[in-house]
A and B are shown apart, each in its own frame.
Chain A
């Protein structure tokens, strides 16, 4: 969102053109979050920031009514926007087509003590979040021993594991958070063991642990165990299955992750699974600009 508001590529300019006329337009420094209907040429049809389906439906009706009043020349761009794709400065252009893309979900886990539980009607009890983790083809191979034989164990290199620990083992359950610095990783190990080899398919067991902690005014951290299984096709050089659970505890809070008074250590669970290939699963990781992602995403 920040990039759309302040960037200078054609996508950002188009967004700024209609968003500045929208529900928060003309208010510098405020968010531009919301739902917008616009023409490809950048004309605003309607907008609002609401999760009320009736208000959204009303907005869409107004937008369609306005669309009907516009000529083709008004509503479309004069040139094919496909020609400007190379100018769009989004991290999605670094999507690792032949690498490993994992879908990461996070959720609070059940708590033991009643006092530690949020109230029954609290949205926080149902909160969960998601993200994507990217690895190049070469990095994906680093989850396996060089010569996979049954029983062989392998330590996943820190360069790969630190990306998981810093950018993905984070408490974003209730909202956006901040990543950890590599210096804040106090424990990190992920051991893979070959449990089966069947033709070109190698089955792995993944097991490990991490601990990340930021001290100071807004101290927070996670300590988790990792456990999972995966299968890798050595002929196609890609993972066919991947499931890894991270289970442990989180403590503290960050500015926007809605922990507020919920700062004591409490259980958290994260799940890493293979992402699909649909267009909406090509979204860049939330912390794609973090140094741990330098091997995948060029700094913008």
Chain B
């Protein structure tokens, strides 16, 4: 036993609040907020993307700039 150890440091990790028991008019807002993306999850949307490659071609031609294309199965701005 180490007498130099004055006490124990108890770290209580606050558990995430449990979800409401059911979906009703009173809990609707809480369930909505659980599902809704947080701002950190939407940081990709802070880039001024255009929805299609051809929109990018038109803008790039007008501005004489290169095109950056983010291509995924599905659509990166929607379901992937």
- Give the contact-size bracket for chain B: 35 or more
Asked if residues A15 and B51 are in contact (CB atoms below 8 Å), the reply is no
> Is A92's beta carbon under 8 Å from chain B?
yes
Task: Give the CA-CA distance A109 to B80 in the complex, in Å.
Answer: 20
> Is B12's beta carbon under 8 Å from chain A?
no
Per-residue interface assignment for chain A, residues 74 to 94, with 1 indicating a CB less than 8 Å from any chain B CB and 0 otherwise: 011100111011001010100
State whether A33 and B53 are in contact (beta carbons under 8 Å apart), knowing that A109-B19, A247-B31 are contacts in the complex. Answer: no
Shortest Cβ gap from B76 to chain A (Å): 9
Q: From DSSP, what is the main secondary structure of chain A's interface residues?
A: mixed
Asked if residues A247 and B73 are in contact (CB atoms below 8 Å), the reply is no
> Is A212's beta carbon under 8 Å from chain B?
no
Residues of chain B lying within 8 A (CB to CB) of residue A270: 35
Q: From DSSP, what is the main secondary structure of chain B's interface residues?
A: loop
Most buried by A among B18, B66, B77: B66
Shortest Cβ gap from B67 to chain A (Å): 5
Shortest Cβ gap from B1 to chain A (Å): 33
Q: Which one of B31, B58, B70, B78 lies within 8 Å of A130 (CB-CB)?
A: B78
Q: Which one of A19, A60, A172, A243 lies within 8 Å of B79 (CB-CB)?
A: A172
State whether A38 and B79 are in contact (beta carbons under 8 Å apart), knowing that A76-B61, A77-B61 are contacts in the complex. Answer: no
Task: Give the CA-CA distance A286 to B74 in the complex, in Å.
Answer: 7
Per-residue interface assignment for chain B, residues 9 to 31, with 1 indicating a CB less than 8 Å from any chain A CB and 0 otherwise: 00000001011000111001001
Residues of chain B lying within 8 A (CB to CB) of residue A227: 23-25, 28
Residues of chain A lying within 8 A (CB to CB) of residue B57: 11, 14, 40, 77, 81
State whether A245 and B35 are in contact (beta carbons under 8 Å apart), knowing that A80-B61, A92-B51, A283-B51 are contacts in the complex. Answer: yes
Asked if residues A11 and B23 are in contact (CB atoms below 8 Å), the reply is no
Asked if residues A105 and B35 are in contact (CB atoms below 8 Å), the reply is yes
State whether A1 and B23 are in contact (beta carbons under 8 Å apart), knowing that A92-B52, A175-B80, A269-B31 are contacts in the complex. Answer: no
Residues of chain B lying within 8 A (CB to CB) of residue A92: 51-52
Asked if residues A105 and B79 are in contact (CB atoms below 8 Å), the reply is no
Residues of chain A lying within 8 A (CB to CB) of residue B80: 129, 175-176
Residues of chain B lying within 8 A (CB to CB) of residue A243: 28, 32
State whether A131 and B78 are in contact (beta carbons under 8 Å apart), knowing that A11-B53, A76-B64 are contacts in the complex. Answer: yes
> Is A67's beta carbon under 8 Å from chain B?
yes
Q: List 16 A-B contacts (CB under 8 A).
A: A14-B53, A15-B69, A35-B69, A38-B67, A39-B66, A67-B66, A76-B61, A81-B57, A107-B34, A130-B37, A130-B79, A225-B23, A247-B23, A270-B35, A271-B36, A280-B77
Q: Enumerate chain A interface residues (CB-CB to B < 8 A).
A: 1-2, 4, 10-11, 14-15, 19, 31-40, 45, 60, 63-64, 67, 72, 75-77, 80-82, 84-85, 88, 90, 92, 105-107, 109-110, 128-132, 172, 175-176, 205, 225, 227-229, 243, 245, 247, 269-271, 273, 279-286
Q: Enumerate chain B interface residues (CB-CB to A < 8 A).
A: 16, 18-19, 23-25, 28, 31-32, 34-37, 41, 45, 48-55, 57-58, 60-61, 64, 66-75, 77-80
